[in-house]
Amino acid sequence: MHTTEDLDELMTCRLDHHRRQVESAVIVIFGASGDLTSRKLIPALYQLYAAGQMPPDFRVIGFARREKTDASWRAELREAMDRFSRTGPVDETAFAGFAERIHYCQGDLADPLAYQRLSERIGGMPVPELRHNRLFYLATQPSQFGLIADQLHRANLLERDPAEGWHRLVVEKPFGRDLASARDLNHELTLHAHEHQVYRIDHYLGKETVQNILMFRFSNAIFERLWHRDAVDHVQVTVSEKLGVGGRGGYYEEAGALRDMMQNHLLQVLALIAMEPPVALDAEPIRDEKVKLLSSVRRPTPDQVSRQTVRGQYTAGTVAGQPIPDYRSEDKVAPSSDTETFVALKLFIDNWRWSGVPFYLRTGKALPVSASEVRVQFKQPPNVLFAAQCGPRLDANSLTLRLQPNEGITLHFNGKIPGTGIGLRPVRMHFSYDSEFGAYTPEAYERLLLDALSGDATLFIRRDEVEQAWEIVDAIRAGWDDQPMPPDSFYPAGSWGPEPAHEMLARTGHAWREPQTLR
């Protein structure tokens, strides 16, 4: 007889055996002195190396203005690993082997001679693959993307169709600040590279549970058959953060919650939740469906914006026992700022599957908990039997996908209260990733860097996908039309946002469901 563990192993289906091999390559990080490099990129590359997942040979070259030697930069990164490693103490033997592959190239981004030095460094690599396979990671301001791509091309480091090997650009968000600037940026990047060579990274797509949305939807027939307007009443997507803006006040004044979170993270989750089945599990079919979905999102008119969007800004308060100052008193924030730290949207998707189903999206800072989740709320049963007697006290069925923290999936339904009487109450059936699998979950950048090295663009954003998302956001900003923030838009830190966000749902008999800690 087979044990449960034996059956689990027999029923395990591996889909990555056709995945392209990760080839030896040089990884050049522009902005090597920045926070992203020490906090995310180097720890991710180290974890991949320690786990034996990096290619047979590779090199990392940091490019930045400050004068450093290979040895001094390696020492800096080793110190940073103690602060940012997610797996406990650093294995000294593993890091020593990793550090041998790290180099530094000093230079200004606008200096052609610096790129010549970089070219000489790459040209002196010991094996052909390291000289020909090049991954350029642009961990810089978006305004510098075009400059770097141009300088790389002039130094013969970036070519559309290299005679040997491959050349790829990885670029970080924010990818533009509106549709026009995003199109300009796309144009600059594709002057010297094909679209398939450009990898626009959104770390949210690298999260294990975000990737699992597609598998959950399309490998489970019981749920996919309910995933449409006949069964779903509405969908809620919440991404909440406990912290205020802290030291990012200057950036936030330029971006705001709509550009910083809604345009990328939440609209990406929306696309995965609502897209049609792709024809294959390859990058382009999946990205095709995401673009189709975003193009189907109804662009709100200015009048609709006033009824279907809410913006807010936090005032002083307390979150988890910690005082949070008023947003307007944060460093580098204007005393009369109207920048939104909270935004809630009611969106409609004009296609056959979702016609008439509202999608509620919200994100904000200085909220009670840091959590990301999707709640699919199903329609109430007919108003007979239990529904007729219980009325609003009969809770609707729902499915919650918890993206972070405590990743898992919860099915909410009604059950009988034990005892001699007859009573109903909501109960839940919960699946926890940690309890089921228990293994180390790779950090998002680990998966994304590995995919970029292997040439798998599935989890990266295509140019038309970026532009569709900006069209939605631009329509909302046009509706706001630089108007001052309404008096009822302010919310105390530690609350669940401004009152109008709750009123927006209440008008149609809906209510936000607050994320709860899942155990």
58 vs 25: CA distance, rounded Å? 5
- Provide φ and ψ at 373, rounded to 5°: -155, 160
Distance of CA 454 to the CA centre of its chain: 20
The active-site residue out of 132, 192, 234, 265 is 265
449 vs 445: CA distance, rounded Å? 6
Q: Which is nearest to 493 in space by CA: 238, 311, 241? A: 241
Residue 439: C-alpha distances to residues 45, 316, 319, 433, 442 (Å): 19, 40, 31, 9, 9
Contact between 445 and 206 under an 8 Å Cβ cutoff? The reply is yes
Q: Which is nearest to 178 in space by CA: 98, 95, 255, 292? A: 255
Residue type, 32: A
Please enumerate in sequence order all residues whose Cβ is within 8 A of that of 84, keeping only pairs 6 or more positions apart, or say none.
38, 39, 40, 43
158 vs 220: CA distance, rounded Å? 43
First to last CA, the chain: 33
| Residue 240 bridge partners (DSSP) | 364, 371
The answer to whether 167 is a known catalytic residue is: no
Residue 297: C-alpha distances to residues 9, 225, 445 (Å): 41, 22, 29
488 vs 312: CA distance, rounded Å? 8
133 vs 230: CA distance, rounded Å? 50
Q: What angle do CA 178, 296, 410 make, to 5 degrees?
A: 100
Residue indicated by tokens 């939740």: 273
Residue indicated by tokens 């690298």: 206
Please enumerate in sequence order all residues whose Cβ is within 8 A of that of 351, keeping only pairs 6 or more positions apart, or say none.
293, 296
Q: Which is nearest to 273 in space by CA: 221, 209, 230? A: 209
Strand 371-378 to strand 342-348: parallel, antiparallel, or no bridges (unpaired)? Answer: unpaired
Residue type, 342: F
Active site residues: 265
